[in-house]
Structure 1
Amino acid sequence: MKSWPDPVRLDVDRTPWNDCETIFTVRGDRLHPVVSGNKWFKLLPLLEFARLRGIQTLVSVGGPYSNHLHALAYAGHRWGFDTVGIVRGPEPDEYSQTLQDCLAWGMTLRFISRTDYAERYSTRFEEQWRAEYPGGHFIAEGGWSPEAIQGSANWWQLAGRDLDWLVCPVGSGTTLAGLILSAPTRCRVVGVPVYRDPDEYTDLRRKLAEQGISADRYRIWSGHAGRGFGRSSEAERTFGERFEARNGYELDPVYTRKTFLALASRLNRDPSLKDSRIGVLHTGGLQGRTG
């Protein structure tokens, strides 16, 4: 086993928006150059889980531009695990930069059909891949697990506990669950799904309920996924360019840009929100800009 990750000193790290000093970006993008933002909080507990049990191989699933697989591949390379990425879709003629990085860091890539990928949350899917890599540890898409949910509670050390609202992107829902379970009483937690769901996020709400989280403990701001997961609209691109020019740091196109635009839209519709102290998570993932 290679040297273990040094503890990160978690102090409040947030940057006020230039046009509103009561709105803060919680700077998870500054945690680590590769395993940044929510990936740091989600992956480190899973690595610790594996290390304590002598597990050598970590198997997980994602798309060809997956921040999760990218961070997992680097973590395995850096801290001494074998990693396997189960990738959505047929093997491409030309790999994305994300997959090139994964290969360079030693990740074994296994490509599966979109039909099989649609079964990734099923018990059958997990059992199949556990059988292929006996003794390995299967990590659900986005890291969803009790360990990663608990690790996500550490976001509050960056966000501070004096906020009235905390807004975060939602993919797997892991970060949202961890935030809600550890939220200060005074703070309302808001999730912004970055993917479309014609069922109005019923599965997400069910997953949260299974963690003992009642619907009155959070809010979902839907309708901000634009063209869908991983797809950018002209409005999103324009907002991102203007925001970055004003504030001096980059947003990733998959998660933070959609979420920051959602918050800006809400502020425009309801200026009274500016009377509250609002934090919005920058969950890192800037490698996604290469796609």
Structure 2
Amino acid sequence: MGHQASAVIALHPRLKALQRSLAAAPLTKINDPELADRQLELWIKRDDLLHPIISGNKWRKLKYILNHALYAGADCIVSMGGAYSNHLHALAFSGKALGLKTIGFIRGERPPQLNPTLNDLLDWGMELRFVSRSHYRQLRGYQGHDSLPELQPGQYWLPEGGATYLALQGVAELVDEIEIDFDILAVACGTGTTLAGLLASPLAQHAIGVAAMKGGDFLINDVEQLLEMQRMTSHADRRILVDYHFGGFAKTTPVLLAFMQDFQRRHGIELEPIYTGKLLFALYDLIRRDYFPAGQRIVAIHTGGLQGKRN
């Protein structure tokens, strides 16, 4: 298949400086008899290697959002997430690096002792505002960067997980970097933004999303809405798998943990149990059930998030 470059967007000088600190995100081929026996190829797009902190889809999603905020003259980014949020973790670090204040609405009551993620947020200068779950659900209703009613001058609102059309543009660039022909893209899903960004690329013809939480059927509509915000129609086949959540978001089981440990031992690639572990478990389960026709090449996106393993 041919490769089509994404439209070039001028980056703010401060953002250019941050981008220069990023490393390459290579493709790694998984050599495995199970794959060879079925005449399949599995490759991992190693976005976890982009940066020690703002790795994976977090940087992809934040890149053009932060660019827009900087050019709009914002001096503070306000967003939301759970107590283990990779999104807020990357945002707080990026805000400090760019000289922007950050405020995070955290779902639930303030715990007596903060976990490593929340301590990092504080260390990087993010103001933490713990809110009730009902208030948190209300915050999900505000999508535009200026839509949050209590915003002050200079503040820029960023929805949960960076779910905006600007995030899709950053994720779509990931597909342009894949220098081999491929049949299927596969990614874990939280808000569905990364999957929508993959589908926003004309190079994506078939995509699989693996829901990280129970009741992930809502992701189907959310992905379509994000694509509509981009004013584009994706003709790519897509399927969202909702039965690999292992009990719910951030839940795990001995079976999942054993799979992750075995995968890391055999292939030297670290996974985490919230997203990437579930993604690879689902792909191997499909492979063993002969879901993929012989001869197909699958590219799985490693979306980083390894910091969450500390909590």
Q: TM-score, normalised by structure 2?
A: 0.85
Distance 1:14 1:64, change over 3 A: same
Find the counterpart in structure 2 of residue 13 from structure 1.
26
Is structure 2 residue 284 aligned with structure 1 residue 264?
A: yes
In structure 2, runs of 5+ residues without a counterpart are 1-12
What is the CA deviation profile of residues 47-106 of structure 1, one whole-angstrom value per residue up to 9, with x for unaligned ones?
A: 111111111100000000000000000001111110001000011100010000000000
SS at match of 1:275: coil
Q: Which amino acid aligns with 1:63?
A: G
Is structure 2 residue 228 aligned with structure 1 residue 210?
A: yes
Find the counterpart in structure 2 of residue 234 from structure 1.
254
What is the CA deviation profile of residues 139-194 of structure 1, one whole-angstrom value per residue up to 9, with x for unaligned ones?
A: 01010111111111111134335111110111111111111010426x31111111
Find the counterpart in structure 1 of residue 203 from structure 2.
184
What is the CA deviation profile of residues 86-130 of structure 1, one whole-angstrom value per residue up to 9, with x for unaligned ones?
A: 000011100010000000000000000111112232149987845
SS at match of 2:150: helix
1:139 corresponds to which of 158, 161, 167: 158
- Distance in 1, Cα, partners of 2:242 & 2:142: 28
- Distance in 2, Cα, partners of 1:2 & 1:198: 37
Distance 1:208 1:54, change over 3 A: closer
Find the counterpart in structure 1 of residue 77 from structure 2.
58
Find the counterpart in structure 2 of residue 221 from structure 1.
241
| Preserved CA contact (<8 Å) 1:226 1:232 | yes
SS at match of 2:258: helix
Alignment of 1:88-237 (within 5 A): 88-123=107-142, 129-160=148-179, 162-184=181-203, 187-197=205-215, 199=217, 201-208=219-226, 210-211=228-229, 212-213=232-233, 217-237=237-257
| Preserved CA contact (<8 Å) 1:23 1:274 | no
Is structure 2 residue 40 aligned with structure 1 residue 29?
A: no
Distance 1:183 1:244, change over 3 A: farther
Is structure 2 residue 52 aligned with structure 1 residue 39?
A: no
| Preserved CA contact (<8 Å) 1:11 1:157 | no
Q: Which amino acid aligns with 1:237?
A: L
What is the CA deviation profile of residues 228-265 of structure 1, one whole-angstrom value per residue up to 9, with x for unaligned ones?
A: 11111221111101101111121121110001101010
SS at match of 2:140: coil
| Preserved CA contact (<8 Å) 1:26 1:158 | no
- TM-aligned CA deviation for residue 207 of structure 1: 2.3
SS at match of 2:299: strand
- Distance in 2, Cα, partners of 1:69 & 1:272: 36
- TM-aligned CA deviation for residue 6 of structure 1: 3.4
Number of residue pairs matched by the alignment: 290
Is structure 2 residue 300 aligned with structure 1 residue 280?
A: yes
Q: TM-score, normalised by structure 1?
A: 0.91
| Preserved CA contact (<8 Å) 1:28 1:158 | no
SS at match of 1:5: helix
| Preserved CA contact (<8 Å) 1:267 1:273 | no
RMSD of the TM alignment (CA)?
2.5
- TM-aligned CA deviation for residue 198 of structure 1: 6.8
Is structure 2 residue 99 aligned with structure 1 residue 80?
A: yes
Farther off after superposition, 35-44 or 14-23: 14-23
Farther off after superposition, 9-18 or 270-279: 9-18
Farther off after superposition, 98-107 or 205-214: 205-214
Distance 1:214 1:18, change over 3 A: closer
Find the counterpart in structure 2 of residue 245 from structure 1.
265
